Structure 1
């Protein structure tokens, strides 16, 4: 997840630097709101790691929801970027924080601490890329 988001962010930043992507004012506004929402959802590592797993998962899902809502309001390159970011974060939707208690889980699995760290880092990197888009 971290590598995919890093590659996406790098590609977006490169397209802006190379003037392949001329970010419209409306896209800047949506990117700024998305960046703010991501920052609110997933805080610094020391804050996230101190949270119970169920809260960490809820915040990651909140970040994914914020991306999906932003995606619903754009077209073109920003939509492609946000869509790819949502796709990269979809494993979060299959994670569970509660014990299965020997019942079916609809395919949900418990994520490792490393997977949480990876996903949270990916969200922070997306936030930085979206901030770059707003100033690009």
Structure 2
């Protein structure tokens, strides 16, 4: 399953839990999610902007997005933490990606992603960002 699908599944589950009042957000958690949404928006821009960047910058931005999710996760608990933890897990493939050529083939298992994989990961971050912003402002 690609990152986009994993994030979409998380979003659907989160929306259901919030609608059913199983996941009740505290004002502090809304603040954490709003900050995470802003950080994700700053990390990964619009598709045409991202696609114009060198792959090393695209990968850096995706890792920044994952870091933003991890930082938000460190500041919450309960359903909010579980959601952010699952989102971080969905984005972890970017940790195994490399943008530089492997001159000596010692890459610690890192692989070069395809342009499609970059696009899917960036779309996943955008979907997560919009969901976090929506949840935070509700």
Output the TM-score relative to the length of structure 1. 0.97
Measured in 2, the distance between the counterparts of 1:3 and 1:61 equals 19
| Runs of 5+ unmatched residues, structure 1 | none
Residue in 1 that maps onto 2:90:
88
| Cα RMSD, aligned residues only | 0.8
Residue in 1 that maps onto 2:42:
40
Measured in 1, the distance between the counterparts of 2:70 and 2:24 equals 22
Matches within 5 A, 1:112-131: 112-131=114-133
Q: Matched residue pairs, number?
A: 136
CA deviation profile, 1:57-108 (whole Å, cap 9, x unmatched): 0000000001001101100001000000000000000000000013300000
Output the TM-score relative to the length of structure 2. 0.96
| Runs of 5+ unmatched residues, structure 2 | none
Measured in 2, the distance between the counterparts of 1:5 and 1:113 equals 19
**Off by >3 Å, runs of 4+ in structure 1:** none
